[in-house]
Structure formats: C-alpha cells, structure tokens
Amino acid sequence: MPQGKKVWFITGISRGLGKELARAVLARGDVVVGTSRNGRADLDAGDGELLVLPMDVNNMKQVEAAVERAYSLHWRLDYVVNNAGYGLLGAVEEVSQAQARGVFETNFFGSLNVIRAALPTLRAQRRGHILNVSSVGGFTSIAGAGIYNASKFALEGMSEALALELAPLGVRVTIVEPGAFRTDFLTPDSLQMSSNSIDDYVETSGRMLAHFDQINGKQPGDPAAAAAAILEMVDSPSPPLRLALGGDALERMRRKLRQVEQDLDRWESLSLSTSYETVNS
C-alpha cells in the first residue's frame, strides 16, 4: 500500500451518511472497506480502493470476518466508523420490549461488536481512530424518541470510557453527533414506529412524530457536508471527543448544558448536604 493511504472500515455504506463518508474518503484516494447487510453499495471507487462486504452488525461472526478481511488485505486499520444504525419513534410506553431490545442490539451492541473485533488490531498498532456515530439525541432526549435516544446515550457512555482507556495506547475515540440530515433515516426503509399508540401521548410524543413526518426530505443537514466535516476533524492534530454536526445539534446540546448547569447551581447546597462531613457538622 502506498505510504499515506489510510484504511477506513465503515459500517452502513449503502445509504445516507455512511455512503457520503465512503464517497468522500474514496475521493481523496484512501481505502474503504465498507459494509451493508446485502453486501452492496452503489459507489464508484474513483482514485481510492473499495471493498464492500455483507455484514449485519448484530452478527458477531460476520463482524469478525469483515474486520479480519480488511486487516488481512491491508495490514492496518486507521479509522473504524460505527455508522450503521436506525431510528425508533414512539413514547417510551408505546415501544414494545422487542423493539426496544432491537434498537439497542443494532445501535449499541452492534457498534460494540465492531469495536471488540477491531480493538486487538488497533491496540497492537498503537494507533487508530474509532468514530462512533451517535446523534444529538445521544446527548439530549426528546419526547417520542426516548428508547432510540437511550440506545445512543449508551453508545456515548461507553465511548467516553473507551476514549480514556485507549488514549494511553495511542487510539482515539470521537463521538459524532448529527442533527437532522437528509438521508433515509426518517423514511419507512429505515425508521421503525412503536407498535402501540396511546392517546395520552398525543400532545407530547404524537406532536414530535408529526414534526418528524413533516421534516422528512427537508432536513437542514447535507450528508456530503457532514462527510467533509468528519474528514476535516480526523485530520486535525487533536480531534475532539464529541463533534456536533449541524446548527440544530449545536443549539440543542448547548441548551441541555445550560439546563444541567442551572439545576446543579440551584440545588448545589442540597447536593452537598449528603456527605458524612456535612451531616455531622
């Protein structure tokens, strides 16, 4: 492999953000080993090098085989991008247990499967960069998406610890947090709706579902611009733990930080009242 060419392992390159990222990576001449469940992706390798493998992130055997194939072809892994995922809408109570477990299987355990498969190589190399595609919803929840949000919160919680564990070993971790991007995400090809509907949630979850229905196809975020931003971020000498994508994501994340700060300030003395030292003084 010519010096300087980077090897990217990207899940879910058949559509949306993963496809645009793969396209941008290939355009700069890097190598993409990408996956989709049916092993197909309509992409032109251009100046790069492309291998598309069939892989369901929930199938550990397929995950191990795909990561191994990437490594045995190129003898290195530079970027591992956990992009595959899907949305699930409905109030927390409206979502069935099977649906809740299903979205955690793909969005959290699927990413964990890929990370487990890639880590021995990344650790041995003492370099590499894991990008976990979460969501603004992995940082702040909304009515109507609580279980999807929880699956991404889980991904973020794990990623924060992983970043601390891998930093001394030379491996980086970044959580990518997109706002609303114009992909298949909100279409019936990708999105799942809760199996139940309860009238009491019409004004909360119901309103949000109607909003998502309205913005489908009109989301402000451009997936090609997201891909360009991700490339700029990974090229930086000090990439962040979190990268928000889109003004909507920035705004919502800042609002949450302000709310948390306000709660902490307002309840500070009660929070501090719980130590043995304060109780006994």
Q: Mind telling me the catalytic residues? A: 134, 148, 152
Task: Indicate whether 14 belongs to the interface with ligand NAP (CB under 6 A).
Answer: yes
**CA dist 138 → 8, 142, 217, 238, 245 (Å):** 24, 10, 22, 23, 13
DSSP string, 169-214: GTEEEEEEEE-SBSSSTTSTTT-EE-S---GGGIIIIIHHHHHHHH
H-type alpha helices, the chain:
16-27, 60-74, 97-104, 111-125, 146-166, 207-215, 223-235, 247-266, 268-272, 276-279
Please identify which residue in 85, 128, 146, 206 interacts with ligand NAP, judged by CB under 6 A.
85
Give Cα 37 to chain centroid, integer Å: 17
Query: Closest separation between CB of residue 74 and ligand NAP, Å?
Result: 21
Query: Closest separation between CB of residue 31 and ligand NAP, Å?
Result: 19
Position 221, amino acid: G
Query: Closest separation between CB of residue 109 and ligand NAP, Å?
Result: 10
Position 179, amino acid: G
Close Cβ partners of 57 (under 8 Å, ≥ 6 residues apart)? 11, 12, 35, 63, 82, 84, 106, 110, 111, 113, 114
Of 118-126, 174-182, 206-214, 258-266, the window that binds ligand NAP (rule: CB under 6 A) is 174-182
Q: Which residue has tokens 């003492």? A: 126
DSSP string, 208-220: HHHHHHHHTT--S
Q: Identify the CA nearest to 108 among candidates 70, 141, 148, 79.
A: 148
Residue number of the CB atom closest to ligand NAP: 16
Task: Indicate whether 184 belongs to the interface with ligand NAP (CB under 6 A).
Answer: yes
Task: Indicate whether 132 belongs to the interface with ligand NAP (CB under 6 A).
Answer: no
Task: Indicate whether 12 belongs to the interface with ligand NAP (CB under 6 A).
Answer: yes
Residue 124 or residue 234: which is nearer to ligand NAP going by CB?
234
Residue 48 or residue 110: which is nearer to ligand NAP going by CB?
110
Residue 247 DSSP code: H
Task: Indicate whether 227 belongs to the interface with ligand NAP (CB under 6 A).
Answer: no
Please identify which residue in 6, 7, 8, 16 interacts with ligand NAP, judged by CB under 6 A.
16
Residue 110 or residue 206: which is nearer to ligand NAP going by CB?
110
Give Cα 49 to chain centroid, integer Å: 24
Site for ligand NAP in 202-221 (CB under 6 A): 219
Task: Indicate whether 84 belongs to the interface with ligand NAP (CB under 6 A).
Answer: yes
Please identify which residue in 125, 190, 192, 197 interacts with ligand NAP, judged by CB under 6 A.
190
Residue 125 or residue 190: which is nearer to ligand NAP going by CB?
190
Binding interface with ligand NAP (CB under 6 A): 11-12, 14-18, 36-37, 56-58, 83-86, 106, 110, 133, 135, 178, 180-181, 183-185, 190, 219
